[in-house]
């Protein structure tokens, strides 16, 4: 599908099952003047196609589709709208929301067919060089791609631009780009932390929303239009699509050279075309009824809370998604994907989520995609959309139960509506065995996190008791209400030494819990040095100092602490089991009138570990099992790793790890 240079010309193929005709429109190199229009052959099995002899890479083109305009039946064909090829490898032009992009005119009581032509202001596709040429760097990158065992993974969720925009060790001309992420200063930081895998926020070509407040943009990028193109906003040469592709490939290849994997956050649940009254830009104009989930009255299902929902249950839409994923692995070199609102992918034609959905079956039998990392955000906005534990096979899943249990346990009474019991905390620390073990999933299926891009940073979790999102332009209505957090006596930054000390202790304890828990740990970029967003828990439109990592204020001591935790995890196989082992954990409450507890890991092994948790505000005694024990880590800042005999004391708001060195 799409446009491919081959055999002395360019071959074109587009799926449009309900169209009566599709025209290929050719433009000059700048995309301004239409130079020719060619009617494609078909449809053959819903595909329109044609071969253009002597055409070469660099050719600029768009599409016009003819078919029924019948909104009540889900059809919105309008040949006056130039359409962007959904399979485009290169996109040219600058997009602005204009009335001409809509296929209708909305009157007082009804809508009418719109005959305004939008070609002059529409985005166009450009034929990319053959994959054998363009993929040379990617092929080299795949050849040296690291293959980390699932039990060894440490994920690092990061925004390409936000990571480096204020990084003093990266040249100013590179900051905010793909190249910056592969700069030696960035790589040194990742290696110091023990990161194995970068999980990038969306890098696909995306659009801003049509009604953005002045000065704001869709910074996170969860609004994909070009599913085969890196976003030019993150490139050194944004005006040259070929250069953007090459820069992305070089970034991946360089990261691979240093043993770092790259996972992409992908958005196959909705597009920027909005609800049934949205613009006609690409998929809608080719075949709305096939590409989107359409209800009986012609309105679009909205399982994404963004106006529309891709109809992945349709075989050709499944193919479209798989084509995109394969492109990013084979032509761009990446190592896997995190799927936004992934429950959408498992909904059958009747709307019910199923582990045996056709998409999952197709994905797992694919010889390329069955080998890469697959991570689900295991919910969507529809009925019965929460599907934690519901994904098949070797899928990993973001586990929000771990986040809430960890925060609730350590924040305790300071956090409103916590209600986290010791039993709940123990389950989450043990890779959520209650969820994954009965389903024959592995401990690594649970992607553990305390903070991610969507919500408070770790430093803000202990500095605020409520969200502060007024900068987003929605009068503080956006963002999650009731997020587990606590300010420990003062809202926002303070110089009160007691509050500062308590916040640091709790933050260290939560970070230690994340890094030492069984399952797959995921760091949110910046949490390793105390990055703050001023209490903004939904900084999706903040392409500024709020959304960028605050490197000038980085806490070097906390970075060292996270690196120590990572090294401890790597050195102790008992902390990162690949399989379930019966009797591998032995839990006990330490004091009946507190939440304190301890876990002996590998009690029947020669050198078991003891992890003790004290979420209270006072030190507590810790009776030790028989034998001689050595402190490996104390988040309460004890530094002496000395043998202990009968008991020790756990600092307030701290986690302690001990290892038996002699029976």
pLDDT tens track for 432-454? 999 999 999 999 999 999 999 99
The pLDDT score that the predictor gives to residue 562 is: 97
Cα–Cα separations (whole angstroms), residue 237 to 209, 244, 394? 24, 6, 38
| Contacts with 240 (C-beta within 8 Å, 6 or more apart), sequence order | none
Over 80: is that where the pLDDT of 364 sits? yes
Which is nearest to 578 in space by CA: 195, 197, 260, 149?
Answer: 149
The pLDDT score that the predictor gives to residue 583 is: 86
Which is nearest to 129 in space by CA: 2, 246, 4?
Answer: 4
Does residue 377 carry a catalytic annotation? yes
Q: CA 237, CA 417: separation in Å to the nearest integer?
A: 49
Residue 647 pLDDT class (50, 70, 90 cuts): low
Does residue 495 carry a catalytic annotation? no
Other CB atoms closer than 10 Å to residue 364's CB: what's the count? 14
Residue 73 pLDDT class (50, 70, 90 cuts): very high
Could you read off the pLDDT of 596-606 as tens digits, one per residue?
Answer: 999 999 998 99
What backbone phi and psi angles, to 5 degrees, belong to 132? -65, -25
Residue 141 pLDDT class (50, 70, 90 cuts): low
Strands 446-448 and 396-399: parallel
User: Which comes out higher in pLDDT, residue 646 or 623?
Assistant: 623
Region of poorest pLDDT, from 136-145, 234-243, 412-421: 136-145
Residue 649 pLDDT class (50, 70, 90 cuts): confident
Question: Which pair of tokens denotes residue 292?
Answer: 């989107």
Tell me if 609 sits within 8 A of 585, measured CB to CB. no
Catalytic residue among 231, 261, 287, 340: 340
Cis status of the peptide bond prior to 43, with omega within 30 of 0: yes
Could you read off the pLDDT of 220-264 as tens digits, one per residue?
Answer: 999 999 999 999 999 999 999 999 999 999 999 999 999 999 999
The pLDDT score that the predictor gives to residue 646 is: 62
Over 90: is that where the pLDDT of 318 sits? yes
Over 70: is that where the pLDDT of 640 sits? no
Residue 591 pLDDT class (50, 70, 90 cuts): confident
The pLDDT score that the predictor gives to residue 126 is: 96
DSSP codes of every residue in 11-59: EEEEE-TT-SEEEEEEE-TTS-SEEEEEEPEEEETTEEEEEEET--TT-
Catalytic residue among 377, 414, 460, 651: 377
**CA dihedral defined by 343, 344, 350, 352, rounded to 10 degrees?**
10
Percent of the residues in the chain that have a pLDDT greater than 90, as a whole number: 86
Q: By three-state DSSP, how is residue 569 classified?
A: helix
Over 60: is that where the pLDDT of 552 sits? yes
Residue 142 pLDDT class (50, 70, 90 cuts): low
The structure's pTM equals: 0.95
Q: Could you tell me where the beta strands, DSSP code E, fall in 394-478? A: 396-399, 446-448
Could you read off the pLDDT of 146-201 as tens digits, one per residue?
Answer: 989 999 999 999 999 999 999 999 999 999 999 999 999 999 999 999 999 999 99
Question: Which pair of tokens denotes residue 154?
Answer: 């440490």
Average pLDDT over residues 548-552: 97
Mean pLDDT across the chain, nearest whole number?
93
Percent of the residues in the chain that have a pLDDT greater than 70, as a whole number: 96
């Amino acid at each position: 599908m799409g446009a491919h240079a081959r055999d002395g010309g360019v071959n074109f193929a587009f799926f449009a099952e309900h169209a009566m005709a599709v025209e290929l429109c050719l433009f000059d190199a700048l995309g301004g003047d239409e130079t020719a229009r060619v009617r494609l052959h078909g449809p053959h099995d819903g595909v329109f196609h044609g071969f253009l002899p002597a055409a070469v890479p660099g050719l600029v083109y768009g599409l016009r589709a003819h078919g029924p305009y019948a909104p009540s039946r889900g059809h919105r064909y309008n040949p006056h709208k130039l359409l962007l090829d959904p399979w485009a490898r290169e996109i040219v032009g600058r997009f602005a929301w204009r009335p001409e992009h809509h296929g209708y005119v909305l009157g007082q009581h009804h809508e009418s067919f719109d005959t305004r032509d939008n070609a002059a202001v529409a985005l166009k596709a450009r034929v990319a060089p053959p994959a054998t040429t363009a993929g040379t760097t990617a092929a080299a990158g795949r050849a040296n791609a690291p293959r980390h065992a699932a039990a060894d993974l440490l994920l690092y969720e990061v925004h390409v631009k936000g990571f480096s925009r204020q990084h003093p060790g990266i040249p100013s001309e590179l900051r905010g780009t793909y190249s910056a992420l592969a700069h030696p200063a960035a790589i040194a930081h990742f290696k110091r932390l023990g990161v194995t895998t970068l999980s990038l926020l969306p890098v696909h070509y995306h659009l801003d929303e049509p009604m953005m407040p002045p000065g704001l943009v869709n910074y996170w990028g969860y609004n994909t239009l070009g599913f085969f193109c890196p976003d030019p906003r993150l490139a050194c040469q944004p005006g040259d699509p070929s250069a953007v592709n090459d820069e992305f490939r070089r970034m991946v290849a360089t990261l691979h050279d240093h043993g770092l994997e790259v996972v992409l956050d992908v958005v196959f649940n909705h597009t920027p075309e909005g609800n049934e009254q949205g613009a006609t830009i690409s998929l809608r104009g080719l075949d709305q009824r096939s590409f989107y989930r359409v209800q009986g009255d012609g309105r679009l299902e909205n399982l994404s809370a963004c106006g529309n929902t891709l109809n992945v249950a349709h075989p050709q839409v499944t193919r479209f998604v798989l084509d995109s994923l394969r492109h990013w692995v084979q032509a761009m070199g990446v190592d896997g994907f995190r799927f936004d609102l992934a429950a959408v992918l498992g909904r059958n034609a009747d709307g019910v989520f199923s582990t045996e959905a056709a998409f999952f079956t197709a994905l797992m039998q694919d010889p390329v995609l069955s080998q890469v990392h697959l991570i689900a955000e295991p919910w969507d906005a529809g009925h019965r959309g929460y599907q934690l534990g519901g994904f098949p096979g070797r899928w990993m899943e973001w586990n929000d139960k771990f986040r809430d249990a960890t925060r609730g346990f350590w924040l305790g009474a300071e956090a409103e509506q916590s209600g986290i019991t010791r039993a709940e905390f123990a389950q989450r620390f043990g890779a959520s065995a209650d969820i994954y073990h009965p389903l024959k999933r592995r401990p690594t299926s649970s992607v553990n996190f305390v903070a991610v891009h969507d919500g408070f940073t770790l430093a803000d979790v202990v500095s605020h008791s409520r969200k502060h999102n007024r900068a987003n332009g929605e009068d503080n209505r956006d963002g999650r209400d009731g997020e587990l957090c606590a300010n420990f006596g003062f809202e926002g930054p303070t110089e009160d030494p007691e509050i500062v000390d308590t916040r640091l202790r709790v933050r260290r304890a939560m970070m230690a819990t994340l890094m030492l828990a069984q399952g797959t740990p995921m760091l949110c970029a910046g949490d390793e040095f105390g990055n703050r967003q001023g209490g903004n828990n939904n900084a999706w439109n903040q392409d500024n100092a709020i959304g960028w990592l605050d490197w000038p204020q980085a806490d070097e001591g906390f970075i060292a602490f996270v690196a120590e935790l990572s090294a401890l995890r790597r050195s102790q196989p008992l902390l990162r089991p690949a399989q379930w082992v019966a009797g591998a954990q032995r839990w006990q409450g330490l004091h009946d009138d507190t939440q304190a507890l301890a876990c002996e890991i590998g009690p029947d092994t020669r050198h078991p570990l003891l992890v003790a948790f004290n979420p209270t505000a006072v030190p507590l005694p810790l009776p030790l099992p028989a034998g001689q024990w050595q402190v490996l880590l104390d988040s309460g800042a004890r530094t002496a790793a000395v043998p202990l005999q009968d008991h020790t004391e756990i600092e307030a708001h701290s986690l302690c790890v001990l290892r038996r060195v002699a029976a």
